[in-house]
Structures are given as structure tokens and as C-alpha cells.
Amino acid sequence: MKVYKTNDIRNIALGGHAGSGKTTLAENMAFEGKKINRRGSIDTKTTLSDYRPAEHEQEGSVFSSVLHTEWQNTKINILDAPGALDFVGGAVSSIAVADTTVLVINSQNGIEVGTEIHWRLTEKFKKPVIIVANHLNHDKTNFDKTIEQAKEQLSGNVTIVQYPVNPGPDFNSIIDLITGKMYKWAADGNKPEVLDIPAEEADKFEELRTALIEAAAENDESLMETFFENETLTEDEMRDGILKGILNRGMFPVLCTAAKQNIGTPRLLDFIKNALPSPADMPPAETVDGKEVKPDPAGPKSMFVFKTSVEEHLGEVLYFKVMSGEIGESDDLINQTSQNKERISQIFAVNGKNRENLTSIFAGDIGATVKLKNTGNGDTLNEKGCDYKFKDIEYPNPKYRKAIRALSESDEEKLGEYLHRMRDEDPTYILEYSKELKQLIIHGQGDHHLNTLKWHLDNIFKIDTEFIAPKIPYRETITKAAQADYRHKKQSGGAGQFGEVHMIIEPYEEGKPEPSVYKINGKEYTLTVRDKDEIDLKWGGKLVFYNCIVGGVIDKNYMPAIIKGLMEKMENGPLTGSYARDIRVMVYDGKMHDVDSNEISFKIAGSKAFSDAFKQAGPKILEPIYDLEVMVPSENMGDVMSDLQGRRAIIMGMSSAKGFEVIKAKVPLAEITKYATALSSISGGRATFEMEFAEYAPVPGDIQTELIKAHEAEEEED
């Protein structure tokens, strides 16, 4: 295959709601560019995209697909992104890496939730967008309404470049405002007939063309002057203005297709080649240390890995974008994260599961390679002496969680291996083994997302698994000071066990004065601090231990044993077995025996005294609280607010954005484990949310009582 220079490359992401026709459009592009001899279809499961078994099963995209085509001496790399919200990870990586997003809209349905989500991703990554109005051949299609919705919900700078002459079941003609021609397709969807503008379309054509010329001129002062002088722009001047408008997100051109009939694809490819930016036109990429890197073919060799997958008979495939220089076969590069050396043994241009070998690949291009030992998603590979490290792609936080376990103990190791493989392919899966909860927790974007992972485990990896309810990582603490003592005494034949510990415990607070005098239950205690141990707990919070022993009643060598006993109870709290946190412990008195005292005795005595004191110290169970930001259509605002109130949410603020209301709230994790499903049901799938851990806060008294009873019942069963 030909090796393309940077200026002759276009990188596009196909975005849009599920069912908008992205995969069929990608198939058309490959066919028109003669990368395939016949067009596959989703119905027959023969498309270049959606080639995975799970995608055949679900008849929709689960992963992003990397494809390419060639058109008029230009290579067009195509990243076909999943449209379903649960598989947003593939859309994130595709839009982040591509130079332009082609947002495909189903003209029957207008702006759908997937359209809105992908649009917001283009805003986040500051990427140019063009819009393709697809499905213009259906009886329910409404092009004018689609444009109206796009201007209202996306941007007022949505600008028509093509419009359909006869949308509906007989659709076959498009008028192109740039070329000033009508394109009419026969029923077979082959090369269109190029015609002059019909008389009955002349007024509409002139009106829309003038609007397009004005929009193009607004993006360049010299073009604006030319427009004022000549009252028009040439075709090349229009393209120049459109390119500048696309680059600065000042214009979002609309083109027309009926992908299933392959109507409009050649003109779309013409537009991509002539009006969309090459990598050289894009702003320079930025490294983690703020260095700007242009896609210079003569620059140092550097590539960024944005996607991995495991292919049958090939192993792990790594997809990359060349950020600088020319990467060739047998190049030795250094992984900037691990500093390991990697050899590029093969380079491919890919079309789904099909591959074409390349001898080299230039800056700005997208390719794939195999057999890299220690490289994965987000890694940068450089030639020796180059220190570029490009920013990781930022994926959305998980919104849904389930615990998973293998039904057979012999499969547990394999389960971990395959879960990590799925995590590599889709970074929005988060794996967590919780020692605290004794559960393997899978975090994802929704119920469908996690069920798809389980489908792979069941059908591809052949591991029987089950989902179980995930536990909540509660915490335990205290609210006031308390005193307790405990004597551990055990005699059985030879040497016995003896240790007695007296302690006071109280809540830890940052900046609190050192302990001195306490009055508890009418008795006053005066303490003198001898030593202090401040322990940062790995689950958050602190344990601060004070040795306040006077007169050597407990040897200081036993203090580590007492701390060990305290830590065991901190790891297995007295109320529910959850981690305890933020407690100060003062050991001020006790007794020991010359013969029978030992470390185990003081460990047990310290643990028991702590447990007794804890239960007298106003114990509280804390629950994880999350910051929740919900973006909801205005018409669903009331229902969503009512639902949140039923989830013990505290509303922190509200704002508006393009027909949506943004609700900010603090909500307990226990109340939003399945919120993704509930919110989708309330809003018809249009509402979205982000969640992030905020803090721990006390649970209400009635819930605390229920949790303690449940724990006691569980311990009795054990």
C-alpha cells in the first residue's frame, strides 16, 4: 500500500447515536475507495466495522473500529465510534485522536442522546465537526426539523452545505451549494448524474448558497473583503473559508446521505478531502509538560497508543497515531513511561480485522502494530533522545458497579486475566479487588456495559461467572471520648498469658491539642504523653496512638503489640466489621506480670479495651458520599428531582445549558448503585450523569441500626 505524507491524510471519527448509520457509511467509504469489492451489511454481519462476535450478537457497535480508505490520492483514516452510552469509551478515544468528527444524524429522529453525548465530547476535546444528515430515504425523515434541532441543541453555526431535493422513500437527489450542481443517483446507488440546478430549486439554492458564502467569509478577513467587493466567493475561496470555520469551530457544515443506498458517499469523500483539515492544519499536540509538538515528518520519531485489542491468530494489536517523524519497520523505540525498549516489527493499515502491510508511516497517520512486550493504552513511544510524553486520554468516571465471582475456584486466576484483557480493550471498565469487602468489583458505564463484559466471559473465554450485589464500603468512627479497660488472663499448664490495658479514646481532629485532662462518667483523668505514633490509614483517616504510661506499669516494648491489636479492630470495626478511622487512643494505665506477660497478651487486651471503649464513644457508621452532576432535559427536571430526593440527595445547585438542566447534588453511594438504569428510564435515555467520590458522612440513625443488626445476623450465621 502507498505510504502517505502528512498533508495527504485526513483523520475522522464517525460519531452519532446508535442506529444513525455510522457503520454502513464507513462501509460505503471503503467501497468507494476500492478497499473492498462489495459492500457488507449489518444484517448479514459482513461489515468491516462491528466484526466482533459480541457486535454480531447485539447487532451494534461495542468497540470502536479502525478503518481507512483512499480517495483522490488522500488517505482517510476512519474511527467508527459506538453510539450507545454504555460504550462511550470507544467514542472518547476516537474523538480524542481524530482530527475531525463526522457527526451522523438519523434524519427520522433528529438529535438523539448519542448525538448530544458525542457533541459534548467534541466540545471537551475542542475538535472540528461536520454533520451528516443520514436516512434521508425514509418516509418519516424530516431534514428541515433535523437542521432546526441541530441549531437549537448543538450550535447556531450549523450551516447547510448540501440539502435533499426529495427526502422520503423516493429520495435520490442532493443539491450541493459549493459546486452549484444537483447530484442524482440511480436505484443502484452507483455514480450519480451531475445536473444543473432545476428551475424550481433556484430560489432556495440562491438563498442557502448566499448564507453559506457569508458563513465562509466570516471566518477570514480577506475573504470578507472579497465578498464585499464581488458579492460572492469562488468555489476554492468557499472551501478555504469553510476549512477555517471548521478549524475554529465557527462553522459546522451539513452534508446529506442515505447510507444504505450509498447515496451521497462520493460527495462526502470529496468534502473530506477538499475541506477538512489534515493533521498539519491542526493545532500542535501538547505533552504532559506543556511542550507543543507539530506533526512534522522530519521531526523525532514519536507515536501514541490510543487503543488495544486482542485478535484471533494475531494476539494483542496496538493502534497508534504517529505524533512526529516517520516510523518504520524494525525501528527501536523507547516507552516513555517504563523506559523499556520496543521494536516495531510490523506496521499495518487496518480495515477492521483486515490488514495491509506498510514499510513506514508518517506523522499524522494512524496505524497498528503487534508483538510489543510492555506497551498499552496511553503509552508514548519515542526514538532515543526524545522525551515526549503525551497526555493520557481522559475517560468518564464509572457509573455502575457489580461484584463478580467465578463459579469454579479453578477459574479464579483466569477470571482475573480475562478481566484485565477486557480492561485493556475498554478503559472505562475499572477493576477493583476490595480486601475490605472481600469482593471483586467491576465498575462500568451501565448495566448493558457490564452484561456485555459477562457475555465475553461466558461465550468467548468460557468462564462461568455470576454477578452479585456489591457491598458498600462503610466506615466506622466515634463522636465523643470514652474510657475502658480490659484484663486478659489465661492459665493452662505452663506459662500463662497476662496483660491489662486501660485506655481513653476520642475522635481525631486535625489541629486538636495534645491530650491532657478528661472527665468521663464523673471521673477525672490526667494524662502525661510519653510517646506518640501517628498512623495514616490506607483506607483514609488516621489512628493516633499516645503512650501515657507512668511508672512503667506496662513496659514500652509492649506498645507495638497494643497498636497491633488496635489496628486489627480498626480493620474490622466493632459495629459492622467495616474499616474504622479518625480516632485517638491514649493508653494511660495497666498491669503486667513478670512471667506471664507477652506480646499476644497485650495485643488481645488492647483490642478488647478498644472495642469496649468504641461502643461507649458515640459510635457512628459513615457512608461514602458522591458528587453527582446530572444533565437532564428540561421536561424531565421535576421527575429527576423527585427521584433524587427519594435517594437522600442534597441538592447543591442548578444551572441551564442548551435545553438541559444541570443538577449538582451529593448522594450516598448506597442510593445510586443502579442510578444509571433508573435515570435512563425517567428520561428516555437522554439524561446523563457524572459521579465522583466526595467524602464520608454519618448515616441516619435508623439506617445505622439496620446495618448493625444485619452484621450481627451475618456473624451469627458464620
* DSSP string over 71-106: ETTEEEEEEE---SGGGHHHHHHHHHHSSEEEEEEE
Please give the average per-residue pLDDT across 120-137, as a whole number: 97
CATH class for domain 621-703? alpha beta
Residue span(s) of the chain under CATH 2.40.30.10 come to 285-375
% residues pLDDT > 90 (the chain): 84
Q: What is the pLDDT of residues 144-177, one digit of tens each?
A: 999 999 999 999 999 999 999 999 999 999 999 9
Distances (CA, A) of 135 to 43, 151, 159, 445, 551: 16, 19, 19, 29, 88
Q: What is the pLDDT of residues 199-238, one digit of tens each?
A: 999 999 999 999 998 888 888 788 888 878 787 888 888 8
Q: What is the pLDDT of residues 77-107, one digit of tens each?
A: 999 999 998 999 999 999 999 999 999 999 9
In the predicted structure, residue 24 carries a pLDDT above the cut 90: yes
Residue span(s) of the chain under CATH 3.30.70.240 come to 621-703
Residue span(s) of the chain under CATH 3.40.50.300 come to 6-281
Rounded to the nearest 10°, the torsion over CA 706, 712, 713, 715 is 150
- Whole-prediction pTM value? 0.88
* Separation CA 567–CA 619 (nearest Å): 17
In the predicted structure, residue 660 carries a pLDDT above the cut 90: no
In the predicted structure, residue 60 carries a pLDDT above the cut 90: no
Classified by CATH at the fold level, domain 285-375 comes out as Elongation Factor Tu (Ef-tu); domain 3 (2.40.30)
Please give the average per-residue pLDDT across 242-248, as a whole number: 92
Residue 234, pLDDT score:
83
Residue 296, pLDDT score:
96
Distances (CA, A) of 573 to 438, 625, 700: 15, 20, 18
Residue 493, pLDDT score:
66
Confidence of residue 59 (pLDDT cuts 50, 70, 90): confident
Confidence of residue 470 (pLDDT cuts 50, 70, 90): very high
Strand blocks (E) in 521-619: 523-526, 531-536, 542-547, 579-580, 583-591
Question: What is the dotted CATH code of the domain comprising 400-471?
Answer: 3.30.70.870
CA nearest neighbour of 458 among 53, 82, 83 = 53
Q: Tell which wins on pLDDT, 69 or 688.
A: 69
Residue span(s) of the chain under CATH 3.30.230.10 come to 483-569+584-610
Please give the average per-residue pLDDT across 396-425, as a whole number: 93
Q: What is the DSSP string of 416-452?
A: HHHHHHHHHH-TT-EEEEETTTTEEEEEESSHHHHHH
* Separation CA 652–CA 667 (nearest Å): 10
In the predicted structure, residue 452 carries a pLDDT above the cut 80: yes
For 74, the grid coordinates are 488522500
Residue 366, pLDDT score:
98
Q: Are strands 475-477 and 439-444 parallel, antiparallel or unpaired?
A: unpaired
CA nearest neighbour of 5 among 68, 75, 102, 96 = 75
In the predicted structure, residue 606 carries a pLDDT above the cut 90: yes
CATH of 6-281, one of 3.10.50.40, 3.10.580.20, 3.40.50.1010, 3.40.50.300: 3.40.50.300
In the predicted structure, residue 64 carries a pLDDT above the cut 90: yes
Q: What is the pLDDT of residues 255-300, one digit of tens each?
A: 999 999 999 999 999 999 999 999 999 999 999 999 999 999 999 9
Q: What is the pLDDT of residues 325-370, one digit of tens each?
A: 999 999 999 999 999 999 999 999 999 989 999 999 999 999 999 9
* Separation CA 382–CA 332 (nearest Å): 9
Q: What is the pLDDT of residues 269-278, one digit of tens each?
A: 999 999 999 9
Please give the average per-residue pLDDT across 430-453, as a whole number: 93
Residue 718, pLDDT score:
63
State the CB neighbour count (10 A cutoff) for residue 502: 23
For 82, the grid coordinates are 459506538
The residue type of 236 is D
Q: Which residues contact 339 (CB under 8 A, 6 or more apart)?
A: none
For 345, the grid coordinates are 516489527
Please give the average per-residue pLDDT across 499-506, as a whole number: 97
Question: What is the dotted CATH code of the domain comprising 483-569+584-610?
Answer: 3.30.230.10
In the predicted structure, residue 492 carries a pLDDT above the cut 80: no
Whether the CB-CB separation of 25 and 265 falls below 8 Å is answered with yes
Residue 189, pLDDT score:
62
In the predicted structure, residue 311 carries a pLDDT above the cut 90: no
Q: What is the DSSP string of 390-403?
A: BPPPPPPPP-EEEE
